[in-house]
Amino acid sequence: MLDFGQIQSILKALPDPVFILTRSGRYAAIFGGIDTRYYHDGSHLVGQSMSDVLADEKTAWFLQVIESALARRSLVVVEYALSGRDIKGLPDEGPVSEIWFEGRVQALDFQVDGEDAVIWVASNISQRHDLEVQLRQQSETDPLTGLSNRRHMTAVLQEYLDVFLRYGSPLSVLIFDVDHFKTINDNFGHDAGDKVLVEIAAVCRRELRNTDVSLRFGGDEFVILMSHTTPDVAIKLAERLRSQIEMALHELLVGLSVTISGGLSALAQSDTGTDDVLKRADAALYQAKRLGRNRVISA
């Protein structure tokens, strides 16, 4: 059987830091954390309160997790970030460099210094988090144009629909594609077609507002989500975009006339899913095609 000294040595040798935190947020003890690649010596925290060390908002979050673990009496796993701005006494200016952690929090079955307490194991997961962010961005980004793709659009549009149904915040949706795009590919090659799509993306970034979301829906089809925008305002923005794209493509293809056609719709209280507004915009797009192309039709 291990004696007390051996147990103490084992605790000190733990790679990740282990905190004993009381209900009030006091650092009662700290063990481990010897992996100097990721952690600094935190022994000076023992006896201090979180409110003395951390910003108020971050302190409140930690206390909430501690309360949850004490109430559930089972393991609580959380992910969280800490940066210089979360630590009292450090300057607020400059860029924020976040370090991400996974916390595994378990209530203790005895009190510490007269308070309920938890054991909190903190593991640095910054590399894993950065990789997850990178992979998510890659999975949600069109590699040719750099715009968000259909997968990202589905998630964002669902968020807009939820906000609209709850608060009535308007959202207009524009779907457009390139007129006679197949002819461009057939006559000038797929490289020319790719250049057209890249140029359209560049015009969207340049001409649209910061609050608008530009996406490549697939092929030569694009979607623009215009939040807090009613159809009467959106149609003006869409017409300006159509005109600017026509001029940009005229210069790109040296005098060749390349245009787009678009369909515009808006979220409605009767919408039961994101497909509803997309179907209306798509129907308006086909109407624009039937009416001669190079125009935007509102559903």
Three-state DSSP string of 67-107? HHHHHHCCCEEEEEEECHHHECCCCCCCCCCCEEEEEEEEE
CATH number of the domain at 190, please: 3.30.70.270
The reply to whether 42 and 186 lie within a common domain is no
**Residue 149 and residue 61 share a domain:** no
- Asked if residue 88 and residue 188 are part of one domain, the reply reads no
The predicted structure's pLDDT at residue 95: 45
Whether residue 108 is found in the same domain as residue 145:
no
pLDDT for the residue 90:
62
Name the DSSP class of 213.
Answer: E
**Domain shared by 11 and 35, yes or no:** yes
Q: Are residues 24 and 78 in the same domain?
A: yes
Claim to verify: residue 166 and residue 74 sit in the same structural domain: no
Q: CA triplet 114, 116, 119: central angle to 5 degrees?
A: 120
Number of structural domains (the chain) is 2
For residues 147 and 294, membership in a common domain is answered with: yes
* Per-residue tens of pLDDT for the chain, all 299 residues: 777 778 888 888 889 999 999 999 999 999 998 888 888 888 899 999 999 999 999 999 999 999 999 999 999 999 999 988 888 866 554 445 789 999 999 999 999 999 999 999 999 999 888 888 777 777 789 999 999 998 889 989 999 999 999 999 999 999 999 999 999 888 888 899 999 999 999 999 999 999 999 999 989 999 999 999 999 999 999 999 999 999 999 888 766 789 999 999 999 999 999 999 999 999 999 999 999 999 999 99
Tens digits of residue pLDDT in 3-12: 777 888 888 8
Q: What is the CATH number of the domain that holds 99?
A: 3.30.450.20
Is residue 172 located within the same domain as residue 198? yes
Which pTM value belongs to this model?
A: 0.64
pLDDT of residue 65: 97
pLDDT number for residue 287 = 97
pLDDT for the residue numbered 92: 55
Considering 133, 160, 180, which residue would you say is the last residue of a domain? 133
For residues 10 and 124, state if they share a domain.
yes
The answer on 151 and 90 residing in a single domain is no
Q: Which two tokens stand for residue 74?
A: 């089972």
Six-digit token string for 65: 């997790």
Q: In the chain, helix, strand, coil percent, each to 5? A: 45, 25, 30
**Domain span including residue 288:** 140-298
Positive or negative torsion for Cα 111, 113, 114, 120? negative
CA-CA distance, 258 to 250, in Å (whole number)? 6
Per-residue confidence (pLDDT) for residue 96, from 0 to 100 = 59
- How does pLDDT run across 119-150, given as a tens digit for each residue? 999 999 998 888 887 777 777 899 999 999 98
Q: Which of 67, 101, 133 is the last residue of a domain?
A: 133
Q: Which among 98, 133, 168 is the end of a domain? A: 133
* Residues 120, 192 within the same domain: no
